[in-house]
Amino acid sequence: AQSVAQPEDQVNVAEGNPLTVKCTYSVSGNPYLFWYVQYPNRGLQFLLKYITGDNLVKGSYGFEAEFNKSQTSFHLKKPSALVSDSALYFCAVRASNTGGFKTIFGAGTRLFVKA
Amino acid sequence: DTGVSQDPRHKITKRGQNVTFRCDPISEHNRLYWYRQTLGQGPEFLTYFQNEAQLEKSRLLSDRFSAERPKGSFSTLEIQRTEQGDSAMYLCASSLDQGWEGYTFGSGTRLTVV
């Protein structure tokens, strides 16, 4: 069965500092991995995805994520945080070897960027 | 195309009543998904469609829940005999057929059962 763990309920960083939001996953076979962001009173927005190839993937708003197969992790990163990055971030996984395309989401990590 | 639309945005209903939600996906997206999100949790998978075919249902989807996508375009999610535990945000998403595509989510329908 697929699962996603986001070990931190909240991450606090100062504006301008680098940020990391952690995610580990469990899936049979090779994973497709995703990050989504949810701003208050808004729907989830797709940020980036890992399918295959380069372990470092780049996405929207300057975010990137690093895939580590041995650690089954897919941490979200940004070199310099903005106050406007404050939101709820969800990691998600989908098994690539099934036809179902069902995506499983983590519980979310709230990012708070302080000015 | 204005993205994924969900209607209504909010629904307050009395326990025991039936409710129906509608989702209009992006027109060229063949796949449509329903998720449920409660406060402090990530979205939980409910069901998904490829065109008009419902291909997978979660065990979370009890007999009181039914979803349809009759012409492969819009979809409806009906909850019969609502219970207070059904109170949640119901999210609809759509995607292209390729398995590696991210989803486009609607803004959701917030259901409150009183």
Determine the distance in angstroms separating the CA of B57 from the nearest CA of chain A, rounded to an integer: 10
Burial class, A18, CB count within 10 angstroms (exposed 0-12 / middle 13-18 / buried 19+)? exposed
- Check whether A109 has a pLDDT greater than 90: yes
- Give the pLDDT of residue B89: 96
Determine the distance in angstroms separating the CA of A29 from the nearest CA of chain B, rounded to an integer: 14
Determine the distance in angstroms separating the CA of B94 from the nearest CA of chain A, rounded to an integer: 11
Question: A106 and chain B: CB distance < 8 Å anywhere?
Answer: yes
- Give the pLDDT of residue A102: 83
Decide the pairing of beta strands A73-78 and B10-13.
Answer: unpaired
Taking Cα atoms as reference points, which of A79, A92, A103 lies closest to residue B32? Answer: A103
DSSP H helix total and E strand total for chain A:
0, 12
Amino acid making up residue A28:
S
- Check whether B1 has a pLDDT greater than 60: no
- Give the pLDDT of residue B114: 97
- Give the pLDDT of residue A99: 55
| A102/A7 Cα distance (integer angstroms) | 22
Mean pLDDT check: name the lowest of A74-83, A93-102, A104-113, B12-21. Answer: A93-102
Residue A89 pLDDT class (50, 70, 90 cuts): very high
Among all residues of chain B, which has the CA nearest to that of A108?
Answer: B42
* R_g of chain A, CA atoms, integer Å: 14
- Check whether B35 has a pLDDT greater than 70: yes
Question: A42 and chain B: CB distance < 8 Å anywhere?
Answer: yes
Interface touch A101/B48, C-beta < 8 Å: yes
Q: What is the mean pLDDT of residues B12-18?
A: 98
Alpha carbon separation from A90 to A21, A31, A34, A50, B77 (Å, rounded): 9, 16, 8, 14, 24
